[in-house]
Amino acid sequence: MGSVQGWPGRSVEAAFSLEEVQLAARNHGMPLEMLRHGITPVGMHYLLIHYDIPLVHPGSWRLHVDGAVANPASYSLDDLQALDHVTRPVTMECAGNGRARLDPRVVSQPWVHEAVGTGEWTGALLWPLLQEAGIEGDAVEVVFHGLDRGREDGVEQTYARSLTLDDARRPAVMLAWGLNGGPLPPQHGYPLRLVVPGWYGMASVKWLDRITVVTEPFEGFQQTQVYRFRTADDDPGVPLQRIAPRALLVPPGIPDFFTRERYVEPGRCLIEGRAWSGHGAIVRVEVSADGGATWVDADLDPPTFAYAWQAWSHLWDAEPGEHVLCCRATDEAGNVQPVEQPWNTGGYAVNDVQRVPVIVA
């Protein structure tokens, strides 16, 4: 096991700790073979839950809209479902995806590659609801409060995040009550969650119960203490927002149970996967069978929806021997996945290329 870097003040051992295993068991990822599905089946979408999943009684639950607004309001689930609504596929990814592969390792939820999924979310657009409330002239941000409560680095809190008014105004931002044609399951935020397409998952607050318009920037723990890209503990860093590009492939052939090393038969082998970015469409996916020494372009499908991943594939002529399959994406803003990953204190946005060792025999 590699060396590790603890959060400030915490010492950690090089092996994965029981606490990390406990987090990994609660917050499962999407099995990579599910990349074959354009819409991730419910139950296969990754999960990230900081505290406990709250039990919500739909009869007494209400969404409150308050703060610097002319018309504070409160909605039942029925009230919300009577509003104009949309259904859209959105690819969501945890900002910590890839963290377990950083060296030195950063101790938190230990994702390898799998903290991603594409849900078909149904809900009302956020901005019209805020306009209904009448945002006052001195407002600067909108704070989204969840119902889940816990402690983190000694700070007791309710999960909350904010968006600036400009970000809240983006037409894609929605208040979702449905996933893949059904209600939101408890683990994904029942009865209502925010969905911020193109941004890492932390912005998409689950179990929403209050939306507060504020006149000062929000300084909550999840906004200012974590989810910042910092290269050293004294670096103020920058907040994580848009998803960095990533391509993942469905590991081909059959796996070894313990190592998950792949065994593939010689001959033509279909390598397929999905690619996405929060900075716009993916314009190129490349595949390597020699660990990144040489690359060829894969066939890439055009985007189907603005914030959903794109399918790609490549026919590989698998020759007997040992190979390392890799894939890498480039988005329309020109961002390319790194082959060497720069380090950061939170283990965020780790989007270096996936490497899948394969034995062809």
Residue span 88-117 as binding mask against ligand MTE, x where in contact by CB under 6 A, dash where not = ----x-x-----------------------
209 is an interface residue for ligand MTE by CB under 6 A: no
Cβ of 172: how many Cβ atoms within 10 Å?
18
Q: How many CA atoms lie within 13 A of 50 on its CB side?
A: 26
Contact criterion met (CB below 8 Å) for 347 and 234 = no
Residue numbers 301-330 binding ligand MTE by CB under 6 A: none
Residue span 243-282 as binding mask against ligand MTE, x where in contact by CB under 6 A, dash where not = ----------------------------------------
Region from 11-19, 90-98, 134-142, 310-318 binding Mo ion, contact rule CB under 5 A: 90-98
Give the DSSP letter of residue 184.
Answer: P
Close Cβ partners of 321 (under 8 Å, ≥ 6 residues apart): 359, 360
CA–CA separation, 238 and 227 (whole Å): 9
48 is an interface residue for Mo ion by CB under 5 A: yes
Nearer to ligand MTE, 205 or 213 (CB): 205
Alpha helix positions (H), the chain: 18-26, 77-81, 126-133, 165-169, 221-224
Region from 76-84, 89-97, 161-169, 233-241 binding Mo ion, contact rule CB under 5 A: 89-97
CA–CA separation, 353 and 100 (whole Å): 14
201 is an interface residue for Mo ion by CB under 5 A: yes
Contact criterion met (CB below 8 Å) for 316 and 271 = yes
Instruction: Report in angstroms the alpha-carbon separations of 316 from 32, 252, 262, 302.
Output: 19, 11, 15, 21
- DSSP-based three-state secondary structure for 295: coil
Q: Which does 146 bind (CB under 5 to 8 A by kind): Mo ion, ligand MTE, none?
A: ligand MTE
173 is an interface residue for Mo ion by CB under 5 A: no
Amino acid at 322: E
Contacting residue, 46, 111, 199, 316, with ligand MTE by CB under 6 A: 46
Amino acid at 302: P
Minimum gap (Å) between residue 265 Cβ and ligand MTE: 35
Nearer to Mo ion, 65 or 196 (CB): 196
User: Which residues here bind ligand MTE, judged by CB under 6 A?
Assistant: 45-50, 92, 94, 146, 148, 159, 188, 201-202, 204-207
Q: Which residues bind Mo ion (CB under 5 A)?
A: 48, 94, 201-202
